[in-house]
Amino acid sequence: MARSWHGAGVRKLAVTRSSWRRALLTAAPGALAALAGCGGDSVDNAAFASDLRDARPAEVTVQATVTALEADSPDRGDGVHQRFVVSVDGTRVEIDHNISLAPRVPVATGRVVVVHGQFEPDPGHPVIHYTHHATGKHEGGWIDLGGTRYE
């Protein structure tokens, strides 16, 4: 479900954006990192770098810039996945977002996102997946774009 931040709580996405959200989008570069911290999942690109270096799968929360959009993957029994590539401090990472379980994220190249999900350090093809609500098999994840959380 798409959600938008409103104060300390979370509510369903409204049709119009409030002036505070527009102000946030033009705020200092650290604003998205602070926004991610509101939900209890703080951005930690350094922890991600450590997991990548040690080739260790891990739950991660990263701030990244979208660098490429890829075709959706077909449903192979686990749902259709929206795929796009981000740069996490210079590291190319594919995001596999299950749109059979969560709304499509309207990403575009150059946009900054905060992603919480399961990092898999596949050599040459690192990926973050489980960016959707909890399914009982795995902790829930999400993608935040411009103050809207997609889970």
Query: Tell me: the pLDDT tens digits for 51-76?
Result: 999 999 999 999 999 999 999 999 99
Domain-embedded: residue 42: yes
Round to whole Å and give the CA distance between 144 and 115: 6
94 pLDDT more than 70: yes
* pLDDT score recorded for residue 65: 98
Domain-embedded: residue 82: yes
Domain-embedded: residue 6: no
Domain-embedded: residue 12: no
Round to whole Å and give the CA distance between 40 and 93: 23
> Domain range for residue 86?
34-150
Domain-embedded: residue 2: no
Domain-embedded: residue 10: no
Domain-embedded: residue 102: yes
CATH number at residue 141: 2.40.50.200
Domain-embedded: residue 29: no
108 pLDDT more than 80: yes
Round to whole Å and give the CA distance between 138 and 132: 10
Q: What is the pLDDT of residues 16-65, one digit of tens each?
A: 233 333 333 334 444 443 343 333 479 999 999 999 999 999 999 999 99
Q: What is the pLDDT of residues 115-146, one digit of tens each?
A: 999 999 988 899 999 999 988 877 899 999 99
Q: Contact, 61 vs 114, CB < 8 A?
A: yes
Tally of domains within the chain: 1
